[in-house]
Amino acid sequence: MVVQKRSKEENDREYHLEPKESVSNENNEKDSEEKKGHEKKHGLYEQRSSLLSSDSSSTQGYRGLINLGIILIVLSNLRLVILNFNKYGILLQPEKIYISEWYRWPGVIIFLFLNIFILVSFLLEHLAVKKTFEERTIIMFQIINISLLVLIPSSLVWIFRPNPLSGILVMIFMSVYMMKLTSYAHINYNLRQEAKKGVQNGFPNNLTYKNMYYFMIVPATVYQIRYPRVDRVRKGWLLRRIVETAFFTMLIVVIVTQYITPLVNNSIAPLDSSNYIRIIERLLKLSVPNLFVWLLGFYVFFHLFLNIVAELTRFGDREFYKDWWNSTTLGYFWRNWNMPVHNWMVAHIYMPAVHRGYSKTQSSFICFFVSAVFHELIVGAPFRMVKMWAFTGMMAQIPFIYLTERFRGKQIGNIFFWFSIVLGQPFCVLMIYRDWYQQQVLAGVF
């Protein structure tokens, strides 16, 4: 008998055993067949766009490039920090940053003085309800009261020369209360007319100290009898926002003291000698720290401060700004970066002007004119000069708004917007500082 030797593979098959690599080989063969089928059906190449092309439909992000940009920004600014330190040392002197004798600060006294105008406006509304005076007389008194609210604090800041920062804050609060009292008088007038027609709108039960001062405190510029409110104050959230406010405010002080102040001081000579190359160099050098201060100032005021006030008062509507950073036109920017002022302009200037027969263009012009006047007041009164730089800057927005409309929705529009912010603001800063410096020289301060 001949014994036939069987191979290991045959024995394995008999006992249903497979080679160790058989499963892997089958998967590879399957993948290979699918790949060949795919290549046969579609080929290796198909119609596709490059990832960086504007018409690319890829969902892959640009996080890596964004991280690279952040690293480059940090490194380039770190170099500037080192250069600034080697040249000037530490300019910030914390021991000189203190507040003493608050009651002697003219700015504080003037700020507290604003309550008189609030109480006068409240009294006039009660007199209107009691029909002590005719409606026209009440309106005239309200106009006089609001006009004095603007003129008296502005004059006191000009005459008594408070600390410039204190003066600017007073002028800002004066502008805010001007808007609030205007809205309070305007809306209550409308409510009063509706009530005379039998409309149940809550008037005059809203004329209380509590209701009025709640409106004076909340971050809103358009008066309503009731506002949306949250259920409770989030103490932990509030504490974090307060800490952020303190940190970023101090960062603004450091940037202004350490970087912007030396830059504007060194810009006086080129400006006086009309050395345009040096002026452009100073402008470009100032643009970066000025932009940082502007962005930080926006974040501190519109996001942190207004949210802190809203949280303390349980005010529910926190839409203080929209996505202005995506602006492709200057018109979009002005409608979205400062919602409290925009809402007031629409409710109390734009729409009333349209209802009186003015065109939309004319109504927009009136809005920018009012805004330009108050910008000039906020800058001019604390520095005791009226050079019309702020006024001109605001009025110049009108033609630029129409010029940028052709870029609506386009990337080039957003680039143009950022160029106007990055270069336009430091130019105004240089011009205002030069005029203020010359004024100080004539006064013998420098």
Catalytic residues: 375
Distance in angstroms (rounded) separating the CA atoms of residues 282 and 416: 21
Residue 334's contacts (CB-CB under 8 Å, 6 or more residues apart) are 342, 397, 401
Q: What one-character-per-residue DSSP string does 78-132 give?
A: HHHHHHHHHHH-----GGG-----GGG-HHHHHHHHHHHHHHHHHHHHHHHHTTS
Q: 356 in helix, strand or coil?
A: coil
How many angstroms separate the CA atoms of 346 and 250, rounded? 35
Distance between CA atoms of residues 317 and 15, nearest Å? 76
Q: Find all residues with CB under 8 Å of 309, minimum gap 6, and list them.
A: 217, 218, 219, 315
What does the alpha-carbon distance between residue 401 and residue 368 come to, in Å, rounded to a whole number? 11
Are the CB atoms for 336 and 355 separated by under 8 Å? no
- Residue pair 310/187 in contact (Cβ under 8 Å)? The answer is no
Question: Which token pair is 385?
Answer: 């000069």
Question: Across the strands, what pairs with 315?
Answer: 229
Closest by CA to 138, choosing from 176, 202, 184, 174, is: 184
Cα distances from 117 to residues 114, 159, 171, 224, in angstroms, run 6, 20, 15, 19
Give the residue from 255, 334, 345 showing the smallest Cα distance to 295: 255
Sort 76 into a burial class: Cβ within 10 Å, 0-12 / 13-18 / 19+: exposed
Token pair 């000698």 is found at 273
Question: Which helix (H) or strand (E) segment is 14 a member of?
Answer: helix 8-14
Residue 29 to residues 22, 23, 36, 167, 384, Cα–Cα distance (Å): 10, 10, 10, 81, 86
Question: Sign of the C-alpha dihedral, residues 347, 390, 366, 324?
Answer: negative
What is the sign, positive or negative, of the torsion defined by CA atoms of 51, 54, 56, 61?
positive
